[in-house]
Structure 1
Amino acid sequence: MSNTALLTRPATRHLRAVEDVAPAKPAAPAPAAALPAGTAPRGFALYVGIDEAKAAADGVSLSVLVEALRRTIGELAPHAETYATVALAPAGAGGRDVDVVRLALHEPSAVARTKQDEPADDHVPGGVTIDISRRRVHIDGEAAPLTFKEFELLQYLVLREGRTIERTELVSSLWSHAGDDEAPGERTIDVHVRRLRSKLGRYEDIVRTVRGIGYRFDRHADVVIRYGHGTPSPDRF
C-alpha cells in the first residue's frame, strides 16, 4: 500500500485560501509553556492517508495531489520549503490509511501508542537479508559486521533501487551534517563502497558501479528486503 504524506484537491482546482476564504486573523503564537524549553516551531507535517487506487477513484494521482498542495503553499508562503515522501506499508495492511502513514513515518504520538509490535520473525533465509527496520544485514544466515556508515550507504542505495546515484549525491546526503573539513571527497565514497562489498561477500554485485557516474543497487532472487512497519521512499516526488 502506498500513501503520501501530502493531500489536497486536483491540480486544476487546488486550494486558493486567499481568494475563497474570508481573511483570517493571524494565528497567535503558541504559549511558551506549550513548547519544550529551548525549542521553537520550524514548520509542520500533514499526514494524509490515501492509496493509489482511492486517488484514482477520485480522478487524481498521488503526484497530482502533492504538486497541487505545493502550489498552494507557494502562493500562501513563498518562503516555505517543502519535502514530500511516500509511506510504504505491506500490501494488505489493515487499519485506517492515515494511521498506517503516521506509524510508517514514525510520527511520535503514533509510535508511542503502538506498543504491541509484530511478532519478531528471526528466521533468516540464505542469501542476503537487508532488514531496514532493524538496521541489520545477514549474509547466508550470518550477521554482516557493517559499520553505521556502511549500512547507511547500503540503505540509501536500496531505497533507490535501480537508480544510479552519483557520488556527489551520496556525499551531500550521507554527510549532510558534516562540515566542509569533515565531509569526504567523492573518491572516499569508492573506499566505503569497496569495504561494503567486501562484507557482502559473493553477493557484492548487488552494489554495482556505473562507470563515470556512481553506484546502483540491483536486487536479484537471493536478496530479501524487510521494511517493517514501513520505509519512506524519498524518490517518489
Structure 2
Amino acid sequence: MTKTLLIVEDDAQIRHVLEGYLKQAGYRVLTAGDGRTGLALVQQEKPHLVVLDLMLPELDGWELTRRLRASPDPALAGIYIIMLTARVEETDRVVGLELGADDYVTKPFSPRELVARIRAALRRLEGQSGQAQPLVAGALRLDPVYRTVTLAGKPVDLTRTEFDLLAHFMRHPGRPFTRSELLDVTQRDAVGDVSPYERTIDAHVKNIRQKLDDTDRERYIETVHGVGYRFVPQAAEGSP
C-alpha cells in the first residue's frame, strides 16, 4: 500500500523540492503552507507521517504537534512527526521532543537524507508489527501489533518514538541501557547523525514517565546513575 505523507512548510520552494523527492520515492504526498491547513489535512487524510516546519503562519508547529498528541483519535495522536526548522538550539530540539515529535531536522538539510530517514522510519514501524506477543508488567500492558498501551486497563497515549522505547525496555527487563544505545533504538536504520544530543532520550523518558504516572517513584523506568535507564522487572508488584 502506498504510504501517504504530509509536508507542512510555509517556504514554497522547500515544499516543492521535498514534494518532488518524496513522490519520486513512491509516496503519495500532501502539502500545506500553514498550520491550520496542515491540521485540517491531517484530520481528513490521516497520513502515515508528517514533516512539520515549526515557524508557520496561523498555527505554528509546536501548537499543531500539541493538538495532535492531545487528540482522542489514536490515529492522530500516534502519527509520526518529523519537525523541520532553522532553529538549531538544543533547547528547541528538546522542547519539540517533549511536545511529542519523533524526530527533529534542522535547516539547511539534504532532501535525499530526509527521504532516507522517512523510509527508515516507515520500515521500522512496519517491522515492529511482526513482534506479536503482548508485553505485560503488572498493570502495564503493551500490544506491539495494535500499538496500544494500557495501564490498569486505561489507555496510555504514547508517540511512536515513546512506544518504541517502552517496547524496547519491556523486552529487556532489568538490563541497563545507555542513552547512546537508546538513541540507536529510536533512529535504527536512519542515515546520518539523526539525533546527536543524548539529552533527547531524557525528554522521551520524561514523557513516558509522566504518562505512566511514574515521574517520582520510577516504578517502571529507573534511572541508572552514570549509565542511563532500565525497565524495572518487578513493576508487576503493587502497580499502579
TM-score for the superposition, normalised by structure 1: 0.39
Report the structure, 1 or 2, having the larger strand content.
Answer: 2
Report the structure, 1 or 2, having the larger helix content.
Answer: 2
The structure whose Rg is larger is 1
